[in-house]
Each structure stands twice: as C-alpha cells, then as structure tokens.
Chains A and B, each alone.
Chain A
C-alpha cells in the first residue's frame, strides 16, 4: 500500500521533503477515528462532554472512562487511544503532586499544560518510541483568573480555547460551538448545549450503535473542584434535547 508519505513515514525521526513528520500526522488520524469530545469554557466554569459509543450491552454503565481528574481542581478529557490518554494523565497527576509537595500551592493549569506539552513532544523525537495517539482537553476554574481550557494534540501543540472539540465529529461540533455565546453561558446551560451537539449533530444514529454521555465540570458551583456532572442533570439535558427535536419536527 502506498500513500502520500511512503518512504518518509516509517519513523518520527524522518522529515519528508516538504517538511512534514508523517508519524505525527498519522497519530492525529488515530485521534480522528475516536468518538467526539467537547470542552466549553463558560463564564463560570469549564464543562466537558464525551460521546461514548456503547460497544456491547454487556458493558457496565460508566465504564471506559474518558474524563479524568488531576489533583482536585483540573479535569482532562481524552480522544484517541484511551490507553495513551491514561498514560499522559498519570504523568499529569505526578507533576501536580510533585508541584504541590515542593511549593505547597496547587499547580496552575497553564503550568501543567506546558509540562504535559513538553512531555508529549519528547515522544515525537525518537525512532524507538511512538508518538501518543490521543488529544487532551485540559480545563480548570479559578476564583480570580476564571475558567481556562487548553487542548494538547499529538504534535504537542497546546493552545488555549474558549470552546474546543476533538475526535471524529470535531468539524461539525466546532461549527455548532462557534454559534454559541460562551461568555454569557452558565455551566448548567452548557451541559444542555453539549448534550445537544453530541446527540443531534455529531452522533449518527443510523450508522453507529447507541451512545452514552459522559460529562464533567469544574466551575463556581463545584467550588473549583472537578467532578462528574450529576446524573440527574444529564438526564434532564437529554430530555431537553429530545424536546427540541420534537419542536423542530
């Protein structure tokens, strides 16, 4: 099989003649194969939502986690190879703990993001370890600085976002997100909007099996602690989305 990168795509240690590292680009493809995750930076916090495809009726609800806590105040949502995501989260947890031990302060989100970015980059340098096949969204809420949302891709580029989507349906999701007025939205509203985007826009009911919504937030209401959104709220959001569908029909 020959593709665009043939000959230059065996190792991350080879540049192609047009200056690309194909192994890193292929890592992006791994992320694009996974189901979508959305992060929204609202006026009082950050909300994450993940579209989880239910692969089998035998799977327990809530298993196959895609959002994780780092320390108490930072949340990370992953898309791509979940195992790779978990590895980076382990590293993040270690960084956060070391920082806290050394300085007695909780790690600021931009410091953690920078360190994870450097960590991810290391894996794009050598031919004996592969790049991570996952993107991460990192979110936190601070009383003084307000909410922050960052996204790290497999090439280690970390950017700050108001709203972000990663995974299969990220293009459609980003279009929908750009229509929202995020600076005026509360986290409770964001839960509904994310549910709407994931259920209606991104998830294709004909092609794929059922989906499960995994949502988490870190906001004023949770006093800056990263927690899963209460099940009741998610159910209400799903009901609301169904109601919207009926209206439009």
Chain B
C-alpha cells in the first residue's frame, strides 16, 4: 500500500543528492566531459534534466557528485576566486589552479561536506587536464576520471577501452557509451547524456536524448 507519509513525504525530506554518473577524459586536443541528468531525493527524481556540467571559467568545467547544495556552493566559490586571481595576474587561470582551489575547500571543510568533484578543462600551459577530487579532499591528476554512484559500473569498461591521445570521435564515443551503460545499470542515474568538448577553441556542448541512447545487451 502506498503510504503518503512513509513513502512520498519521507523521500522529499531526504537531502537532494546528485546520485549520478560523471566522466571526464583527455584526448589529443583537450578534454571531453559527460554526465547523466538525474537529481534524486530518495527515490523521487527532483530534476530529470539536470545540467551537472558546471562552468568554473570559460574553459574549465567541473562535474559535481554528492550533495547538490555543497557542490554548487563550492563551485561558485572557486569560480569567484579564479576570476579574482586571473584579474590580479593578468592571465587565464590554469586547470591546476582551479583544481587545487577545489581541494582547499573540500579538505578544510571535510567534516561538513559530502562532495566529490571532477575538475577538467583546457589551458594554454598543460593543454587538456582532468583532476579527480574524491570525498576526503585529496587531489589526483588522471588521464580520465569517473565519479558518482554510477561510476562503479564503469571501472571495467573504462580500463578496457581507454587509450591515450584518442581522437575527438573516439573520445566522444567512449564517454557517451559509458554514461549510457551507467544509466542502464544504476538507479541513481538516468535521463539524458550531456557532453561538453573543451579544447583551445572553447567549449562545444552536446546532448544525447533518452531515445537516442544506444541499447547494449538487454532482452
């Protein structure tokens, strides 16, 4: 029996989380980032078309997983500080700088936060870079990174299919299929696949709608 209080209202009172799948991968010209579009509060999908690809600077994006509130506020702090620093220094901020700022916030406030971030982008010094900042506030630079509840279903897929210096097409396929698979298997992920390709020319955003998602093995 459906109990209004127990089933529905209980869900609504749970914290809004981005039970999620996010991926970022470096390729020959830059990085490609991708995410699903489900924000859930318990089993209620608060937003089924969320945009988890958050700009920090023109060519630096972050992928947010964990508490929606925590990740939103931190990415706006980092956006503010990277702006101020770039004005002071007179040069474009590097992905390394933005990622380390994320680290500082995540680590110093670790007891209050439930946030994991992937910071990825392009800068003239390093080219495309991906930094993974998991729950405790550590920072790791990686050729590719996955995050969120759906990422557990992608470890095998990524290890087997990732190659260094892929072409844009290969890299796009890599992330699209990855998110698709995670959406199929993870209850916390769903909706559409949002992608962004970041290279020296800027950011190109793409979307793959639900009905266009490739179907892998299913009866």
Given known A-B contacts A111-B89, A114-B88, A105 and B96 have beta carbons under 8 A apart? yes
Q: Does B114 contact A (CB under 8 A)?
A: no
Residue of A nearest to B94 (CB): A105
0/1 per residue, A78-109, Cβ < 8 Å to B? 00000000000000000000000111110010
Q: Does B100 contact A (CB under 8 A)?
A: yes
Q: Does B11 contact A (CB under 8 A)?
A: no
Q: Does B101 contact A (CB under 8 A)?
A: yes
Q: Does B186 contact A (CB under 8 A)?
A: no
Kindly provide the distance from the CB of B93 to the nearest chain A CB, expressed in whole angstroms.
Answer: 9
- Enumerate B157-204 residues with CB–CB distance to A below 8 Å: none
Kindly provide the distance from the CB of B91 to the nearest chain A CB, expressed in whole angstroms.
Answer: 9
Q: Does B14 contact A (CB under 8 A)?
A: no
Is the pair A103, B88 in contact by a Cβ cutoff of 8 Å? no
Is the pair A102, B100 in contact by a Cβ cutoff of 8 Å? yes
Q: Which residues of B sit under 8 angstroms from A102, Cβ to Cβ?
A: 81, 100-101, 104
Q: CA separation between A105 and B98, bound complex, in Å?
A: 11
Which single member of A101, A108, A111, A114 contacts B104 (CB below 8 Å)?
Answer: A101
Q: Which residues of B sit under 8 angstroms from A103, Cβ to Cβ?
A: 85, 97, 100-101
Kindly provide the distance from the CB of A112 to the nearest chain B CB, expressed in whole angstroms.
Answer: 10
Residue of B nearest to A115 (CB): B88
Q: Which residues of B sit under 8 angstroms from A104, Cβ to Cβ?
A: 96-97, 100
Residue of B nearest to A99 (CB): B85
0/1 per residue, B74-92, Cβ < 8 Å to A? 0000000100010011100
Kindly provide the distance from the CB of A74 to the nearest chain B CB, expressed in whole angstroms.
Answer: 15
Is the pair B88, A105 in contact by a Cβ cutoff of 8 Å? no
Q: CA separation between A102 and B93, bound complex, in Å?
A: 13
Give the size category of A's interface with B.
under 10
Kindly provide the distance from the CB of A111 to the nearest chain B CB, expressed in whole angstroms.
Answer: 5
Q: Which residues of B sit under 8 angstroms from A110, Cβ to Cβ?
A: 89-90
Q: Which residues of A sit under 8 angstroms from B100, Cβ to Cβ?
A: 102-104
Residue of B nearest to A144 (CB): B125
Q: CA separation between A105 and B92, bound complex, in Å?
A: 14
Q: Which residues of B sit under 8 angstroms from A114, Cβ to Cβ?
A: 88
Kindly provide the distance from the CB of A16 to the nearest chain B CB, expressed in whole angstroms.
Answer: 34
- Enumerate B48-85 residues with CB–CB distance to A below 8 Å: 81, 85
Q: Which residues of A sit under 8 angstroms from B94, Cβ to Cβ?
A: 105
Q: CA separation between A104 and B107, bound complex, in Å?
A: 14
Q: Which residues of A sit under 8 angstroms from B96, Cβ to Cβ?
A: 104-105
Q: CA separation between A104 and B103, bound complex, in Å?
A: 10
Kindly provide the distance from the CB of B56 to the nearest chain A CB, expressed in whole angstroms.
Answer: 13
Residue of A nearest to B103 (CB): A104
Q: CA separation between A193 and B16, bound complex, in Å?
A: 68
Q: Which residues of B sit under 8 angstroms from A108, Cβ to Cβ?
A: 89
Kindly provide the distance from the CB of B115 to the nearest chain A CB, expressed in whole angstroms.
Answer: 18
Q: CA separation between A249 and B89, bound complex, in Å?
A: 51
Residue of B nearest to A104 (CB): B100
Q: CA separation between A114 and B85, bound complex, in Å?
A: 12
Kindly provide the distance from the CB of A97 to the nearest chain B CB, expressed in whole angstroms.
Answer: 13
Kindly provide the distance from the CB of A42 to the nearest chain B CB, expressed in whole angstroms.
Answer: 24
Q: Which residues of A sit under 8 angstroms from B89, Cβ to Cβ?
A: 108, 110-111
Residue of A nearest to B81 (CB): A102
Q: Which residues of B sit under 8 angstroms from A101, Cβ to Cβ?
A: 104
Kindly provide the distance from the CB of A35 to the nearest chain B CB, expressed in whole angstroms.
Answer: 34
Is the pair A111, B88 in contact by a Cβ cutoff of 8 Å? yes
Is the pair B104, A105 in contact by a Cβ cutoff of 8 Å? no
21 contacts between A and B (CB under 8 A): A101-B104, A102-B81, A102-B100, A102-B101, A102-B104, A103-B85, A103-B97, A103-B100, A103-B101, A104-B96, A104-B97, A104-B100, A105-B94, A105-B96, A105-B97, A108-B89, A110-B89, A110-B90, A111-B88, A111-B89, A114-B88
Q: A110-B89, A111-B88 are in contact. List 18 more A-B contacts (CB 8 A).
A: A101-B104, A102-B81, A102-B100, A102-B101, A102-B104, A103-B97, A103-B100, A103-B101, A104-B96, A104-B97, A104-B100, A105-B94, A105-B96, A105-B97, A108-B89, A110-B90, A111-B89, A114-B88
**B residues apposed to A, CB below 8 Å:** 81, 85, 88-90, 94, 96-97, 100-101, 104
The 6 closest A-B pairs by CB, nearest first: A104-B100, A103-B97, A111-B88, A102-B104, A103-B100, A111-B89
